[in-house]
Amino acid sequence: MKLWFDELYTENTKFSIKVDEHIYTERTPFQRIDFFKSYDYGMFFTLDGYMMVNEKDEFIYHDMITHVPMAVNPDIKRVLVIGGGDGGTVRELTRYETIESIDLVEIDERVVRLCQKYLPITSSKLEDERVKMHFEDGIRFISDKENVYDLIIVDSTDPIGPGEGLFTLDFYKNCHKALSENGILINQHESPYYERDAKEMKRAHKKLREIFEICKVYQYHMPTYASGHWLFGFASKSLDPIKDHKKDQWEALGLKTKYYNSNIHKGAFALPTYVIEMLNEK
């Protein structure tokens, strides 16, 4: 029997992955979690039917979500990751010896536990002594924090289901308050290509622009997310991702990366015209 995982990109377009084995499925109070073993992408997991992480292209996402802010401020010491229960973002952060603490706030403990079981490639550094895990709602967690983080990474799902509140104005305001003077906020910023994703991308940017002094968007190529063209937001109180790029300082660290490099850093902020126009819409 042939088993295929299908993800609907629109009502009329889908992406299919031939699966060797459907390893596990569980419905938690928050979402449905599935793990599959595939031929081309290795192990992968989905939340409510959407691709989250697979062994083949996770390095792209996790390189871009961490090394971009770290190369703008290599002095980042206190980090908060909201979502990201697979551990991939934390794994990249732990490579910086100068980072002192990493709070991981994941609403669904089952995501972490299952990734620890089935996806060691991303979860292996959750045991690092600087990492503290909090299984609670990121919106609540951040609401009483002031001037405590140099970097906040919102490694969220799409704004449907448990991820919804992580795309709101109030949440972004609280992030601003929780950040230090040179603080940076990176957020999963959806995609400009299919209409549903583009709508969320525009809404997120509009809100972030209201709150943050510096508010940019950068792109990367993610083969297994709808259209393959995906974005992160870079928002900060004072640092500009290009003007304040510490290329030499970052390169001197000697970190080996598979996707990120200093030219990609610069190039990622150069956006196609149609994306700039969408982001500038009033």
Please identify every residue annotated as catalytic.
155
What x/- string results for residues 179 through 218 when contact with ligand AG3 is judged by CB under 6 A? ---------x------------------------------
CA angle 242, 203, 48 (to 5 degrees): 105
17 scored as a contact of ligand AG3 (CB under 6 A): no
Which residue lies nearer to ligand AG3 by CB, 150 or 190? 190
219 scored as a contact of ligand AG3 (CB under 6 A): no
Question: C-alpha 1: how far from its chain's center?
Answer: 35
User: To the nearest whole angstrom, how small is the minimum distance from the Cβ of residue 144 to ligand AG3?
Assistant: 26
- Number of alpha helices (DSSP H) and beta strands (DSSP E) in the chain: 10, 12
What x/- string results for residues 220 through 239 when contact with ligand AG3 is judged by CB under 6 A? -----xx-------------
50 scored as a contact of ligand AG3 (CB under 6 A): yes
108 scored as a contact of ligand AG3 (CB under 6 A): no
Which residue lies nearer to ligand AG3 by CB, 154 or 239? 154
* Residue of 157, 180, 187, 219 that binds ligand AG3 (CB under 6 A): 157
Element at 195 (helix H, strand E): helix 195-211
197-234 in b/e form (b: 16+ CB < 10 A) is bbebbbebbebbeebbebbbbbbbebebbbbebbbbbb
Q: How far apart are CA 250 and CA 200, in angstroms?
A: 32
162 scored as a contact of ligand AG3 (CB under 6 A): no
**Nearest residue to 173 via CA among 151, 201, 145, 200:** 145
52 scored as a contact of ligand AG3 (CB under 6 A): yes
Strands (E), the chain: 3-8, 14-27, 32-38, 43-47, 50-54, 78-83, 101-105, 131-134, 149-155, 179-188, 214-221, 229-236
88 scored as a contact of ligand AG3 (CB under 6 A): yes
Q: What share of the chain is helix, strand, coil (3-state, %, to 5)?
A: 35, 30, 35
172 scored as a contact of ligand AG3 (CB under 6 A): no
Q: How far apart are CA 268 and CA 282, in angstroms?
A: 24
Which residue lies nearer to ligand AG3 by CB, 86 or 150? 86
Chain residues 54-83 in contact with ligand AG3, contact rule CB under 6 A: 61
User: To the nearest whole angstrom, how small is the minimum distance from the Cβ of residue 41 to ligand AG3?
Assistant: 13
User: To the nearest whole angstrom, how small is the minimum distance from the Cβ of residue 65 to ligand AG3?
Assistant: 7
86 scored as a contact of ligand AG3 (CB under 6 A): yes
The residues of the shown chain that bind ligand AG3, judged by CB under 6 A, are 50-53, 61, 84, 86, 88-89, 155, 157-158, 188, 225-226
